[in-house]
């Protein structure tokens, strides 16, 4: 577990990458369900602002930082005190994977997908938002690993 939490760059083994995406799927699914049900205006507003900053960011590093801020804002919007702490503990992973994603994907597409997820959460469409996030996680894993073998529960 320390290998995952303390990771600050470099390369992931495929098995570690799979594990990271599985954990993200579990945590983010609950965050999304709660955020969609709570309608915390300030948390959702912060998520919207993070996406706007991501759209205007000039570097992959800055875009990945705003993607982290987006996920963290959704965790805050869940109104669960533990999820923002968990997301913050995974910050190095979000930053690294986000940077790699931004390097391999058009930033407009990355931002648009985040906006679609936020729209579903804001509309209270919890299960549609969770499924959208599952699709995003699978797509991101495939983009970074070149494989299509990620099984999510």
**pTM tops 0.75:** yes
What pLDDT is recorded for position 36? 98
Give 41's contacts (C-beta < 8 A, 6+ positions apart).
Answer: none
The average pLDDT across 84-107 equals 89
Residue 3 has pLDDT above 90, yes or no: no
Do the Cβ atoms of 18 and 150 come closer than 8 Å?
A: yes
Give the Cα separation of 72 and 133 in Å (integer). Answer: 15
What pLDDT is recorded for position 13? 76
Most confident of 33-37, 91-95, 138-142: 33-37
Domains within the chain, CATH numbers bracketed? 14-145 (1.20.120.530)
CA distances from 83 to 16, 72, 104 (A): 21, 8, 28
More confident call, 2 vs 102: 102
Residue 6 has pLDDT above 70, yes or no: no
The pLDDT tens digits for 31-48 are 999 999 998 999 999 999
Residue 97 has pLDDT above 80, yes or no: yes
């Amino acid at each position: 577990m320390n290998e995952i939490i303390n990771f600050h760059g470099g390369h992931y083994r495929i098995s570690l990458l799979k594990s990271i995406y599985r954990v993200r799927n579990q945590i983010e699914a609950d965050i999304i369900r709660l955020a969609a049900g709570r309608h915390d205006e300030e948390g959702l507003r912060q998520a919207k602002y993070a996406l706007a900053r991501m759209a205007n960011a000039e570097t992959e590093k800055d875009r990945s930082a705003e993607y982290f801020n987006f996920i963290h804002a959704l965790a805050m919007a869940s109104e669960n005190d533990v999820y923002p702490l968990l997301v913050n503990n995974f910050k190095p992973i979000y930053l690294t994977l986000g940077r790699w994603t931004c390097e391999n994907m058009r930033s407009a597409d990355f931002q648009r997908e985040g906006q679609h997820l936020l729209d579903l959460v804001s509309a209270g469409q919890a299960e549609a938002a969770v499924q959208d996030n599952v699709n995003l996680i699978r797509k991101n894993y495939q983009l970074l690993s070149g494989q299509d073998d990620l099984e999510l529960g």
